[in-house]
Amino acid sequence: MQTTNQPLADRMRPLTLDQCFGQNHLIGEKAILRTAIESGNIPSMIFWGPPGVGKTTLAKIISNQLERPFYNLSAINSGVKDVREAIEKAKKQQFFNKPNPILFIDEIHRFSKSQQDSLLGAVEQGIITLIGATTENPSFEVISPLLSRCQVYILKPLDKESLLKILNNALQNDFDLKERTILIEENEAILRYSGGDARKLLNILELIVSNINKNKINITNKKVIDIIQENIAIYDKKGEQHYDIISAFIKSIRGSDPNAAVYWLARMIEGGEDIMFIARRLIILAAEDIGLANPNAILIVNACYQSVHAIGLPEARIILSETAIYLANSEKSNSAYMAIKKGQELVKSTGNLPVPLEIRNAPTKLMKELGYGENYQYAHDFKDHFVKMEFLPKELSDKILYEPGDNQKENQYKVKLKDRWKNKYSY
């Protein structure tokens, strides 16, 4: 029975596959997951996708449709003890010839190796059918022995059509909303703030209705923006502020301001941002904004990523702070970023030009007879391991993609390139 104490998103949770909107590649007519469910023969599986796209809902629907007991654990607040207790309950079910239960583990990527190991035996022996949900790539976050025993299904962000169907379904079928006259005059803002997340979409709708609190409500973009800005959390790690604050963090480091970098880092940590997301962005920044001015930066951020992954919070905050300060204080160069950007633009404009014969691979006799590899000069046979020859297609021999940045390290590169290549690299 629905009550107004339940959040709208919970009240509108689908109970059958036919009530679901989106994920047609998995649960549409004759789609792979629907076929497996309808056959009654489901494997253990991992649902990989962003928040609010139906991972938990699908697990519950599978349990209901197949009449399987459903055990629900969250990796955030569960440990090996909880996993073993669930497995023991499942074992007791076997004595009554009941189908094996479904053990649903939300955010399974947060389980440590030992916690994931504790699932292996029960999955392998068929004591439980595991359904794990993750927002992270399971190839990196789920141990190989467990991953090999699970089918991975990728859930996609909900598209505009699916989101609008969810909105209309709530307006027409929720016991509270259908008693009001609610007209969505403009939908761009409510869809944008939802970010493809059905739960967030319904939360926003509920927030708007509760703030206006009238029987007749016209929803416009301005009303949505005004209400959300008045009620927005200090940090919404999945919403618009998520992107604004990570942008401020990256731009502070790029601008060589360690003070601001630490402030925005603290905002993210206090707001519950995924620390692995922060670490990944630092890797990108080290390559894009520091680059060849300080090649050690990429080593530092990779060490940061591994350390943060191994240690977790609260200590990981210190590693992230140290790395952010190091990067902010480092010399900056975007020459590698600009070089590959120019290279891609050149490829798009010139197409697939042939590789010069002298630097082609010649593994067969015929290729050698055709001149592949002929006149190639092996750099190590020459003084200083350098020989001047053309490595670009002849049509591009005058093109310069890499231009060294103005910093100590790349000024050395500039001198060396000019000395070796003379006029070709006359910066």
Q: Return the half-sphere exposure (C-beta side, CA atoms, 13 A cut-off) of residue 377.
A: 11
Total of domains in the chain: 4
Supply the CATH number for residue 411's domain. 1.10.3710
Same domain, 251 and 307: yes
Share of the chain above pLDDT 90, in %: 41
Two tokens, residue 18? 């036919």
Residue 79: pLDDT band (50, 70, 90) is confident
Tell which of 202, 231, 260 closes a domain.
231
Task: Look at residue 223 and tell me if it is in a domain.
Answer: yes
Mean of pLDDT values over 148-170 = 92
CA 406 to chain centre: 34
- Using the 8-state DSSP alphabet, how is residue 158 labeled? P
**What confidence score (pLDDT) does residue 92 get?**
81
Tell which of 138, 154, 170 closes a domain.
154
Mean of pLDDT values over 406-416 = 86
Q: Return the half-sphere exposure (C-beta side, CA atoms, 13 A cut-off) of residue 165.
A: 11
**What confidence score (pLDDT) does residue 42 get?**
92
CB-count burial class (<10 Å; 0-12, 13-18, 19+) for 362: middle
Task: Look at residue 291 and tell me if it is in a domain.
Answer: yes
* pLDDT of 339 higher than 80: yes
- Asked if the peptide bond before residue 314 counts as cis, ω within 30 degrees of 0, the response is yes
Same domain, 122 and 105: yes
**What confidence score (pLDDT) does residue 378 get?**
86
Domain limits for position 300: 240-329
**What confidence score (pLDDT) does residue 164 get?**
94
* pLDDT of 231 higher than 80: no
Task: Look at residue 97 and tell me if it is in a domain.
Answer: yes
Same domain, 127 and 32: yes
Q: Which residue has the tokens 């919403």?
A: 239
The residue ranking higher by pLDDT, 76 or 209, is 209
Task: Report whether 129 contacts 102 (CB < 8 A).
Answer: yes
Question: What would the pLDDT profile of 15-68 be if each residue is shown by its tens digit?
Answer: 999 999 999 999 999 999 999 999 988 999 999 988 889 999 999 999 999 999
Question: What would the pLDDT profile of 92-122 be if each residue is shown by its tens digit?
Answer: 876 666 778 999 999 898 888 888 988 999 9
Supply the CATH number for residue 54's domain. 3.40.50.300
Share of the chain above pLDDT 70, in %: 94
Same domain, 148 and 36: yes
CA 195 to chain centre: 14
Same domain, 29 and 144: yes
**What confidence score (pLDDT) does residue 357 get?**
83
What's the chain's average pLDDT?
Answer: 87
Task: Look at residue 8 and tell me if it is in a domain.
Answer: no
Task: Look at residue 343 and tell me if it is in a domain.
Answer: no
Long-range contacts of 324-327 (CB under 8 A, 24+ apart): 324/249, 324/253, 324/258, 324/261, 324/262, 324/265, 324/282, 325/258, 325/261, 325/262, 326/297, 326/300, 327/253, 327/261, 327/282, 327/285, 327/286, 327/290, 327/297, 327/300, 327/301
Distances from the Cα of 372 to the Cαs of 13, 297, 361, 365, 387, in angstroms? 64, 39, 6, 10, 19
Hey, which of 71-80, 241-250, 328-337 has the most confident mean pLDDT?
A: 328-337
Same domain, 293 and 172: no
Supply the CATH number for residue 292's domain. 1.20.272.10
Task: Look at residue 374 and tell me if it is in a domain.
Answer: yes
Same domain, 410 and 356: yes
Tell which of 124, 154, 184 closes a domain.
154
* pLDDT of 239 higher than 60: no
Residue 233: pLDDT band (50, 70, 90) is very low
**What confidence score (pLDDT) does residue 2 get?**
54
Same domain, 294 and 253: yes
* pLDDT of 230 higher than 70: no
Same domain, 114 and 149: yes
Same domain, 323 and 361: no
- Using the 8-state DSSP alphabet, how is residue 288 labeled? I
Q: Is the overall model pTM greater than 0.95, yes or no?
A: no
Task: Look at residue 92 and tell me if it is in a domain.
Answer: yes
The residue ranking higher by pLDDT, 4 or 134, is 134
Hey, which of 58-72, 91-105, 355-369, 403-417 has the most confident mean pLDDT?
A: 58-72
Same domain, 325 and 356: no
Start-to-end C-alpha separation, the chain: 75
Same domain, 55 and 89: yes
Supply the CATH number for residue 191's domain. 1.10.8.60
Distances from the Cα of 358 to the Cαs of 275, 384, 393, 394, in angstroms? 48, 21, 11, 12
Task: Look at residue 339 and tell me if it is in a domain.
Answer: no
**What confidence score (pLDDT) does residue 225 get?**
85
Question: CA angle at residue 69 from 67 to 71, to 5 degrees?
Answer: 140
Question: What would the pLDDT profile of 318-327 be if each residue is shown by its tens digit?
Answer: 999 999 999 9
**What confidence score (pLDDT) does residue 343 get?**
92
* pLDDT of 185 higher than 60: yes
* pLDDT of 1 higher than 80: no
